[in-house]
Amino acid sequence: MAADLRHRSPEPPGRVVAEGLTKRFRHSQRRAGSFKEAFIQALRGRWNRNPPDAPNVLQRSARRYEVLALDALDLTIEPGESLAIVGANGSGKSTLLKLIAGITPPSAGAIRVGGRVASLLELGAGFHPELSGLDNIYQMGALMGMSWARIRTRLDEIAGFSGLGGFLSMPLKHYSTGMAVRLGFAVAIHLEPDIILLDEILAVGDSEFQQRSFDAVSRLREAGRTVVLVTHDPAAAEALCDKALWLDHGRVRARGATAGVLRQFRGAAQDEIETLRLQPINFTTALLQPAARMGSGAAEIESVEIMDAAGRATRRLVSGETMQVRIRYRLAQPVETLACVLACNALDETPLWVVATEGDTVLRPPKPAGQFNCMLRPLPLGAGAFRLSVSICPEHCYDNPYDLHLRVYPFEVVAKRPQWLRPVANLPCALSVRQAD
C-alpha cells in the first residue's frame, strides 16, 4: 500500500485529471559471458581488485531499449466516480495507477490529483518489514496525513477487518503474502481516503475475505469516494464500477458505461483468438510467444468455453470445485482418431498440469463436426491467474497436434478457504496421522 502526498493540486478532493500523460521505461539487456571466463578470472584472484566501474565478465554487451507504457493519455475522473480499468497484460493499467498514486513520475504530460490517495498496488509498498503490523498501521496513517489520535479511533476496526489478531504484534517480515494484503487493505479502506486505487486486490485471499473486501469497496463507493480498480474479473468490474476504461498498448481504446466497454473488450479478445493463424508445428518458436496456434490442420478447434459446475460460462473458478471446458471442432479431412488435451500454465509460463483423453474417451472415428465436454473435478489449483492451452490430436500423438491453442485462454481461480501459504496447486490426497509411542 502506498499513499501520495506530493502532487496535491487545486483539484477538489477525489478528482483526477491527466493531460497528455506519457510514461516511458528504459531497459537494458546484457549478453552473458561464459562461465569459463568467470571461472578463470576467479582463479586469477581478480574478483575484488576490479575498479567499481569495471565490467562484469558475465555481462558483456548491453542493448538499451525503451518501452512506451502510456502514450499521451487524457483522462478525467470526477469525485465519487468508480472506474474499472481493463486491458491485456502490458497495456499500461498498473502504470496508470502508479502515476495517480505518485509512485512514479510521468515522462511527459501532467497529472493532478485532489485529496488523500490510498493505493494497494505493489505488495509491501509503504510498509516497513521490521515494524510490527500495529506500527505499520500508524506509519501508513501518518503518510496519509492523519493524526495518531485519529488513527487510534479506527484501530479496532482495522484490526477486526484484517482478522490478524495476535499477528499484529509480529514484525511484517514474518507475514505471508495473504496476511500483508489483509493488513494493507484494512488500513486503506478505514483511513478515509478520497481516492482508493486497487490493482487486482479483490482476487487475493480466501473467498470470505474477498467478499468482505468487495462489500467494503461498495461502501466506499456509496459514501462518495473515488474508486479506481484494475481487474481481469468482469463481474467485479460491473458490480463495483459505473464506468470503465479500456487501455491497449498505452492508449485509450474505449471509455464509457462499464457493460458497454466490457463488451467491446471481450469482442476484441475473441477476435484476436480467431485471428491466430494455424502455423506449422514448431514448439521451439511457439513456446517463445505469449500465445500461439499451430498444427497440421487436419482438424480445427472452432471454439473453447470455460464453465463452472453449473455450465455457466466464466473465467472465474473456485479452487477444489469443478471446471468444465467445451471444445468444438471441425474436421478438414477424415482422421482415424481424435483426442483432446488440456494444459495449464501460471502467468510466468510455469507448466502446472496436463490431462488428455484416453481409452473410451477418444473419438474413433470422429464425426465431421462435434465437441468434447471435459470436466475437471476437483480443480487442482490454488488461488491465482492462469492460462489454459487446448489441443486436438491423434490418439497418443500429443506432439503432433491437428490444432493447438497454446496459452490462449486466461482464467482465474479463487480459494474457498484461507490459504496462508498461497499454494499454486491443491493436490487431492488423504492424510493419515498416527501418534508414535
pLDDT exceeds cutoff 60 at 328: yes
Radius of gyration of the chain (CA): 25
- pLDDT tens digits, residue range 296-311? 999 999 989 999 988 8
For the chain, give percent helix, strand, coil, nearest 5.
Answer: 25, 35, 40
Output 46 or 192, whichever has higher pLDDT: 192
Q: State how far Cα 153 lies from the chain centre.
A: 34
What is the pLDDT at residue 3?
41
**pTM exceeds cut of 0.85:** no
Q: State yes or no: pLDDT of 39 exceeds 60.
A: no
* % of the chain at pLDDT higher than 70: 78
Weakest mean pLDDT among 227-241, 247-261, 368-382, 421-435: 421-435
Residue 360 has pLDDT above 80, yes or no: yes
Overall average pLDDT of the 416-432 stretch: 65
Give the Cα separation of 354 and 341 in Å (integer).
7
- Domain 68-268: CATH class, spelled out: alpha beta
- Mean pLDDT for 44-72 is 57
CA–CA dist 102, 110 (Å, integer): 12
Residue 276 DSSP class: -
Alpha-carbon distances of 12 from 19, 102, 194, 209, rounded to whole Å: 17, 17, 10, 32
Taking the C-alpha atoms of residue 326 and residue 376, their distance in angstroms, rounded to an integer, is 12
For residues 75 and 16, is the Cβ–Cβ distance under 8 A? yes
More reliable by pLDDT, 87 or 7: 87
On whether the CB atoms of residues 219 and 41 are closer than 8 A, the answer is no
Weakest-pLDDT range from 9-23, 163-177, 232-246, 261-275: 261-275
Domain made up of 277-414: CATH architecture = Distorted Sandwich (2.70)
d(CA 82, CA 263): 18
User: What are the cell numbers at 63?
Assistant: 542493448
How far is 344 from 90, CA to CA, in rounded Å?
21
Q: Of the candidates 309, 320, 353, 313, which has an alpha carbon nearest to the alpha carbon of residue 206?
A: 320
Q: What is the average pLDDT score of the chain? A: 81
Residue 269 phi/psi, 5-degree rounding, is: -65, -40
Lowest mean pLDDT among 71-75, 158-162, 203-207, 259-263: 203-207
**pLDDT grade, residue 232 (50/70/90)?**
confident
ω before 79 within 30° of 0 (cis)?
A: no
- The Cα–Cα gap between 87 and 90 comes to 8
Q: Which three cell numbers stand for residue 89?
A: 497484460
| 44 pLDDT tier (thresholds 50, 70, 90) | very low
Query: At 192, which amino acid appears?
Result: E
Per the structure block, which three cell numbers stand in for 153? 479511533
- Tell whether the model's pLDDT for residue 345 goes beyond 60: yes
Residue ranges covered by each domain of the chain:
23-66, 68-268, 277-414
